[in-house]
Chain A
Protein backbone atom coordinates (compact mmCIF):
# COMPACT_ATOMS: atom_id res chain seq x y z
CA UNK A 1 0.00 0.00 0.00
CA UNK A 2 2.72 2.36 1.07
CA UNK A 3 4.84 1.47 -1.92
CA UNK A 4 2.04 2.07 -4.38
CA UNK A 5 1.06 5.38 -2.79
CA UNK A 6 4.68 6.51 -2.73
CA UNK A 7 5.25 5.57 -6.37
CA UNK A 8 2.08 7.29 -7.56
CA UNK A 9 2.72 10.54 -5.75
CA UNK A 10 6.45 10.56 -6.46
CA UNK A 11 5.54 10.16 -10.14
CA UNK A 12 3.20 13.15 -9.81
CA UNK A 13 5.99 15.18 -8.17
CA UNK A 14 8.51 14.39 -10.87
CA UNK A 15 6.00 14.88 -13.68
CA UNK A 16 5.03 18.27 -12.28
CA UNK A 17 8.65 19.33 -11.85
CA UNK A 18 9.59 18.26 -15.40
CA UNK A 19 6.48 19.97 -16.75
CA UNK A 20 7.56 23.16 -15.01
CA UNK A 21 10.75 23.05 -17.04
CA UNK A 22 9.15 22.12 -20.32
CA UNK A 23 6.28 24.63 -20.40
CA UNK A 24 6.87 27.98 -21.99
CA UNK A 25 4.03 29.91 -20.37
CA UNK A 26 4.57 30.92 -16.71
CA UNK A 27 0.99 30.07 -15.74
CA UNK A 28 1.38 26.47 -16.87
CA UNK A 29 4.62 26.30 -14.90
CA UNK A 30 2.83 27.69 -11.86
CA UNK A 31 0.05 25.13 -12.09
CA UNK A 32 2.60 22.31 -12.44
CA UNK A 33 4.32 23.60 -9.32
CA UNK A 34 0.99 23.40 -7.49
CA UNK A 35 0.78 19.74 -8.52
CA UNK A 36 4.28 19.19 -7.09
CA UNK A 37 3.35 20.86 -3.82
CA UNK A 38 0.15 18.93 -3.24
CA UNK A 39 1.88 15.63 -4.06
CA UNK A 40 4.57 16.57 -1.56
CA UNK A 41 1.83 17.19 1.00
CA UNK A 42 0.63 13.62 0.48
CA UNK A 43 4.21 12.38 0.88
CA UNK A 44 4.43 14.26 4.17
CA UNK A 45 1.27 12.46 5.28
CA UNK A 46 2.94 9.15 4.41
CA UNK A 47 5.88 10.20 6.59
CA UNK A 48 3.58 10.90 9.51
CA UNK A 49 3.72 14.70 9.45
CA UNK A 50 0.01 15.58 9.48
CA UNK A 51 0.32 19.18 10.60
CA UNK A 52 3.03 19.84 8.03
CA UNK A 53 0.96 18.35 5.23
CA UNK A 54 -1.95 20.64 6.01
CA UNK A 55 0.40 23.62 6.46
CA UNK A 56 2.07 22.82 3.13
CA UNK A 57 -1.26 22.93 1.32
CA UNK A 58 -2.46 26.07 3.09
CA UNK A 59 0.78 28.06 2.89
CA UNK A 60 2.44 26.86 -0.29
CA UNK A 61 -0.32 25.71 -2.60
CA UNK A 62 -3.01 27.99 -1.22
CA UNK A 63 -1.14 31.24 -0.62
CA UNK A 64 2.30 31.39 -2.24
CA UNK A 65 1.21 29.91 -5.55
CA UNK A 66 -1.86 32.16 -5.62
CA UNK A 67 0.54 35.07 -5.14
CA UNK A 68 2.63 33.84 -8.06
CA UNK A 69 -0.37 33.49 -10.34
CA UNK A 70 -1.64 36.94 -9.36
CA UNK A 71 1.71 38.48 -10.27
CA UNK A 72 1.77 36.64 -13.59
CA UNK A 73 -1.72 37.98 -14.30
CA UNK A 74 -0.81 41.48 -13.21
CA UNK A 75 2.29 41.68 -15.36
CA UNK A 76 0.60 39.87 -18.25
CA UNK A 77 3.64 37.66 -18.66
CA UNK A 78 3.61 35.93 -22.01
CA UNK A 79 5.41 32.98 -23.40
CA UNK A 80 9.15 32.87 -23.04
CA UNK A 81 11.41 33.46 -25.97
CA UNK A 82 14.19 31.09 -26.94
CA UNK A 83 17.43 32.94 -27.39
CA UNK A 84 20.93 31.78 -28.16
CA UNK A 85 21.81 32.08 -24.51
CA UNK A 86 18.99 29.82 -23.36
CA UNK A 87 19.93 27.11 -25.86
CA UNK A 88 23.53 27.22 -24.71
CA UNK A 89 22.46 26.91 -21.10
CA UNK A 90 20.19 23.98 -21.93
CA UNK A 91 22.99 22.14 -23.71
CA UNK A 92 25.41 22.64 -20.86
CA UNK A 93 22.94 22.60 -17.99
CA UNK A 94 21.18 19.29 -18.42
CA UNK A 95 24.28 17.06 -18.39
CA UNK A 96 25.73 19.04 -15.49
CA UNK A 97 22.64 18.49 -13.41
CA UNK A 98 22.53 14.83 -14.33
CA UNK A 99 26.09 14.62 -13.06
CA UNK A 100 25.18 16.36 -9.76
CA UNK A 101 22.17 14.10 -9.33
CA UNK A 102 24.35 11.06 -9.99
CA UNK A 103 26.84 12.16 -7.32
CA UNK A 104 24.10 12.77 -4.73
CA UNK A 105 22.40 9.49 -5.60
CA UNK A 106 25.64 7.56 -5.20
CA UNK A 107 26.21 9.09 -1.78
CA UNK A 108 22.66 8.28 -0.69
CA UNK A 109 22.67 4.73 -2.00
CA UNK A 110 26.01 3.88 -0.43
CA UNK A 111 25.09 5.13 3.02
CA UNK A 112 24.00 2.41 5.39
CA UNK A 113 21.81 3.00 8.35
CA UNK A 114 18.73 4.36 6.63
CA UNK A 115 15.77 2.34 7.69
CA UNK A 116 12.47 1.84 5.99
CA UNK A 117 9.50 4.12 6.45
CA UNK A 118 6.59 2.28 7.97
CA UNK A 119 3.07 3.51 7.51
CA UNK A 120 1.06 4.51 10.58
CA UNK A 121 4.10 4.54 12.83
CA UNK A 122 5.92 7.62 13.93
CA UNK A 123 2.93 9.87 13.38
CA UNK A 124 3.79 13.18 14.96
CA UNK A 125 0.97 14.61 16.99
CA UNK A 126 0.34 18.33 16.88
CA UNK A 127 0.89 18.50 20.62
CA UNK A 128 4.46 17.22 20.34
CA UNK A 129 5.17 19.70 17.59
CA UNK A 130 3.75 22.63 19.50
CA UNK A 131 5.42 21.63 22.74
CA UNK A 132 8.85 21.95 21.13
CA UNK A 133 7.87 24.99 19.05
CA UNK A 134 6.65 27.01 21.99
CA UNK A 135 9.25 26.05 24.57
CA UNK A 136 12.72 25.42 23.20
CA UNK A 137 12.21 27.11 19.81
CA UNK A 138 10.15 30.06 20.98
CA UNK A 139 12.69 32.70 19.96
CA UNK A 140 12.92 31.60 16.30
CA UNK A 141 9.13 31.46 16.23
CA UNK A 142 8.75 35.04 17.39
CA UNK A 143 11.56 36.19 15.09
CA UNK A 144 9.78 34.51 12.16
CA UNK A 145 6.61 36.44 12.89
CA UNK A 146 8.60 39.70 12.91
CA UNK A 147 10.22 38.55 9.65
CA UNK A 148 6.85 38.10 8.02
CA UNK A 149 5.81 41.56 9.21
CA UNK A 150 8.97 43.02 7.66
CA UNK A 151 8.26 41.12 4.44
CA UNK A 152 4.75 42.55 4.26
CA UNK A 153 6.02 46.09 4.78
CA UNK A 154 8.82 45.55 2.28
CA UNK A 155 6.50 44.15 -0.36
CA UNK A 156 4.09 47.06 0.00
CA UNK A 157 6.92 49.60 -0.13
CA UNK A 158 8.61 48.01 -3.15
CA UNK A 159 5.55 47.44 -5.27
CA UNK A 160 3.96 50.80 -4.70
CA UNK A 161 4.00 53.21 -7.58
CA UNK A 162 5.76 56.33 -6.33
CA UNK A 163 4.86 59.88 -7.42
CA UNK A 164 6.34 60.84 -10.78
CA UNK A 165 8.22 57.61 -11.05
CA UNK A 166 10.05 57.18 -14.27
CA UNK A 167 9.05 53.95 -15.97
CA UNK A 168 10.18 52.48 -19.27
CA UNK A 169 6.94 53.58 -20.85
CA UNK A 170 7.35 57.29 -20.08
Chain B
Protein backbone atom coordinates (compact mmCIF):
# COMPACT_ATOMS: atom_id res chain seq x y z
CA UNK B 1 0.00 0.00 0.00
CA UNK B 2 1.09 3.53 -0.61
CA UNK B 3 3.75 4.32 2.02
CA UNK B 4 2.47 7.87 2.31
CA UNK B 5 -0.83 6.59 3.68
CA UNK B 6 0.73 4.19 6.11
CA UNK B 7 2.94 6.99 7.37
CA UNK B 8 -0.16 9.09 7.88
CA UNK B 9 -1.76 6.36 9.95
CA UNK B 10 1.26 5.85 12.17
CA UNK B 11 2.05 9.52 12.60
CA UNK B 12 2.02 10.93 16.08
CA UNK B 13 0.38 14.23 16.78
CA UNK B 14 2.74 17.02 17.83
CA UNK B 15 1.83 18.65 21.11
CA UNK B 16 1.66 22.09 19.51
CA UNK B 17 -1.46 21.01 17.61
CA UNK B 18 -3.27 20.36 20.88
CA UNK B 19 -2.14 23.77 22.12
CA UNK B 20 -3.32 25.43 18.92
CA UNK B 21 -6.71 23.79 19.31
CA UNK B 22 -6.83 25.01 22.88
CA UNK B 23 -5.96 28.56 21.78
CA UNK B 24 -8.62 28.40 19.05
CA UNK B 25 -11.29 27.27 21.52
CA UNK B 26 -10.27 30.02 23.93
CA UNK B 27 -10.42 32.68 21.22
CA UNK B 28 -13.80 31.47 20.04
CA UNK B 29 -14.97 31.73 23.62
CA UNK B 30 -13.74 35.32 23.83
CA UNK B 31 -15.49 36.13 20.54
CA UNK B 32 -18.69 34.61 21.87
CA UNK B 33 -18.39 36.62 25.06
CA UNK B 34 -18.10 39.83 23.08
CA UNK B 35 -20.63 39.39 20.31
CA UNK B 36 -23.49 37.44 21.84
CA UNK B 37 -26.48 39.37 23.10
CA UNK B 38 -28.16 36.78 25.28
CA UNK B 39 -26.99 36.52 28.87
CA UNK B 40 -27.02 32.72 28.95
CA UNK B 41 -25.08 32.41 25.71
CA UNK B 42 -22.45 34.77 27.09
CA UNK B 43 -22.16 32.49 30.08
CA UNK B 44 -21.77 29.49 27.80
CA UNK B 45 -18.88 31.22 26.05
CA UNK B 46 -17.18 31.51 29.43
CA UNK B 47 -17.53 27.75 29.83
CA UNK B 48 -16.01 27.32 26.35
CA UNK B 49 -13.01 29.39 27.44
CA UNK B 50 -12.58 27.23 30.53
CA UNK B 51 -12.69 24.08 28.42
CA UNK B 52 -10.04 25.41 26.09
CA UNK B 53 -7.75 26.07 29.01
CA UNK B 54 -8.44 22.59 30.41
CA UNK B 55 -7.21 21.05 27.17
CA UNK B 56 -3.98 22.99 27.51
CA UNK B 57 -3.45 21.71 31.03
CA UNK B 58 -4.05 18.10 30.07
CA UNK B 59 -1.72 18.39 27.08
CA UNK B 60 1.11 19.69 29.24
CA UNK B 61 0.38 17.11 31.92
CA UNK B 62 0.93 14.44 29.29
CA UNK B 63 4.09 16.10 28.02
CA UNK B 64 5.83 16.33 31.38
CA UNK B 65 4.19 13.32 33.06
CA UNK B 66 2.89 15.62 35.77
CA UNK B 67 -0.28 14.32 37.38
CA UNK B 68 -0.79 17.70 39.05
CA UNK B 69 -1.77 19.12 35.68
CA UNK B 70 -4.72 16.76 35.52
CA UNK B 71 -5.63 17.47 39.12
CA UNK B 72 -5.72 21.15 38.30
CA UNK B 73 -8.18 20.38 35.52
CA UNK B 74 -10.25 18.50 38.09
CA UNK B 75 -10.31 21.61 40.28
CA UNK B 76 -11.16 23.84 37.33
CA UNK B 77 -14.13 21.56 36.61
CA UNK B 78 -15.34 21.78 40.20
CA UNK B 79 -15.00 25.56 40.25
CA UNK B 80 -16.77 25.81 36.89
CA UNK B 81 -19.64 23.72 38.25
CA UNK B 82 -19.97 25.93 41.31
CA UNK B 83 -19.72 29.05 39.16
CA UNK B 84 -22.35 27.76 36.74
CA UNK B 85 -24.76 27.08 39.58
CA UNK B 86 -24.38 30.49 41.18
CA UNK B 87 -24.20 32.34 37.85
CA UNK B 88 -27.40 30.77 36.58
CA UNK B 89 -29.13 31.60 39.86
CA UNK B 90 -28.04 35.21 39.41
CA UNK B 91 -29.35 35.14 35.82
CA UNK B 92 -32.70 33.88 37.10
CA UNK B 93 -32.81 36.67 39.67
CA UNK B 94 -31.91 39.26 37.01
CA UNK B 95 -34.61 37.89 34.73
CA UNK B 96 -37.16 38.26 37.50
CA UNK B 97 -36.18 41.89 37.95
CA UNK B 98 -35.89 42.93 34.29
CA UNK B 99 -38.03 40.39 32.39
CA UNK B 100 -35.44 40.24 29.65
CA UNK B 101 -32.24 38.36 28.94
CA UNK B 102 -30.86 40.73 26.33
CA UNK B 103 -27.51 42.10 27.39
CA UNK B 104 -28.19 45.50 25.83
CA UNK B 105 -31.16 46.06 28.13
CA UNK B 106 -29.54 45.07 31.40
CA UNK B 107 -26.68 47.52 31.20
CA UNK B 108 -28.09 50.18 33.52
CA UNK B 109 -28.56 49.98 37.27
CA UNK B 110 -31.84 51.88 36.88
CA UNK B 111 -34.82 49.59 36.36
A binds B: yes
- Chain A interface (Cβ < 8 Å from any Cβ of B): 1-4, 6, 10, 13-14, 17-18, 20-21, 26, 29-30, 33, 36-37, 40, 43-44, 46-49, 51-52, 55-56, 59-60, 63-64, 67-68, 71-72, 74-75, 77, 80-83, 85-86, 89-90, 93-94, 97-98, 100-101, 104-105, 108-109, 111, 114-119, 122, 124, 128-129, 132-133, 137, 140, 144, 147-148, 150-152, 154-159, 161, 165, 167-169
Interface residues of chain B: helix, strand, loop or mixed (majority): helix
Closest 5 CB pairs of A and B: A151-B82, A158-B89, A168-B99, A116-B12, A155-B89
- The answer on a CB contact under 8 Å between A36 and B51 is yes
The residue on A at minimum CB distance from B28 is A17
A159 and B38 in contact (CB under 8 A), knowing A37-B51, A47-B59, A133-B71?
Answer: no
- The answer on a CB contact under 8 Å between A132 and B81 is no
A147 and B82 in contact (CB under 8 A), knowing A100-B27, A168-B97?
Answer: yes
Residues of chain B with a CB closer than 8 A to A124's CB: 61, 67, 70
Contact with A along B37-79 (1 / 0, CB 8 A): 1101101110110010011001101110101101101110111
How many angstroms between the C-alpha atoms of A83 and B84 in the bound complex?
27
Residues of chain A with a CB closer than 8 A to B85's CB: 67, 151-152, 154-155
- The answer on a CB contact under 8 Å between B92 and A117 is no
Residues of chain B with a CB closer than 8 A to A13's CB: 21, 25
Selected contact of A93 from candidates B29, B35, B83, B97, CB within 8 Å = B35
A105 and B63 in contact (CB under 8 A), knowing A56-B77, A83-B37, A151-B85?
Answer: no
- Chain B interface (Cβ < 8 Å from any Cβ of A): 8-21, 23-25, 27-32, 34-38, 40-41, 43-45, 47-48, 51, 54-55, 58-59, 61-63, 65, 67-68, 70-71, 73-75, 77-86, 88-93, 95-99, 101-102, 104, 111
Could you pull out 19 A-B pairs where Cβ atoms are within 8 angstroms?
Answer: A14-B21, A20-B48, A26-B44, A33-B44, A33-B47, A40-B55, A43-B18, A59-B77, A75-B92, A94-B31, A97-B30, A97-B31, A100-B30, A124-B70, A144-B79, A147-B79, A148-B82, A158-B92, A169-B99
Residues of chain A with a CB closer than 8 A to B24's CB: 14, 17, 101
